[in-house]
Amino acid sequence: MPSRQGLYDPRFEHDACGVAFVVDTHGRASSDIVSKGLTALRNLDHRGASGSDPKVGDGAGMLVQVPDAFLREVAPVSLPEKGAYAVGIAFLPREAGERDAALQMLRKIVRQEGLTLLGWREVPVCGDSIGEAAREVEPVMRQLFLSGASGMDLERRAFCVRKRAEREAGVYFPSLSGRTLVYKGMLTTNQLPAYFPDLSDPRFASAIALVHSRFST
């Protein structure tokens, strides 16, 4: 260990996940902030972990503001005004029958929580770089769009949908919100932008980028 110097003290050294945060303090959304977040994530590679296959990461992800302008261009449905819809990436079963059953249950949950399911978008992914173990459990990823509320009422209802979907339909959402959106997977720090081309699209803008590289502790 290096010797104690300045603000550094070797007594505080420990193994843990890597986290970084990039923000425009004036709240100006841009693709540059997302790009800087991805650079920060790559610099956290030493804080991540992988198994015997170096192409299988312990997990990496990024949280951004909902990229409203981008989603309006790529979503297959007409979206309400910003803040009046929630969006999240659903990790769906690979088997078609199980996926159909999960989607049917999810529609029921959305109705019960007083929201409207606007539609789905197939999330572009590039699985060429991921390892075999990750590919074996790779889910079908689709973006869900919900409306029917706004502000904190939307956040509360979307939270209930997300938690109930996981428990009752077996569908996992890293996030489901009108304010933030998470892209994540069993990936290494370098694989995240390669796997999700959305993150490198110049139209994809945010004023914040919170990144995480997982280390099993």
Q: Following DSSP, what letter does each residue of 6-46 receive, concatenated? A: TTB-GGG-----EEEEEE-TT---BHHHHHHHHHHHHTTGG
Rounded CA gap, 156 and 109, in Å? 14
Just list the catalytic residues.
17
Which residue stretches of the chain are H helix?
A: 31-42, 68-74, 96-112, 132-136, 151-164, 191-195
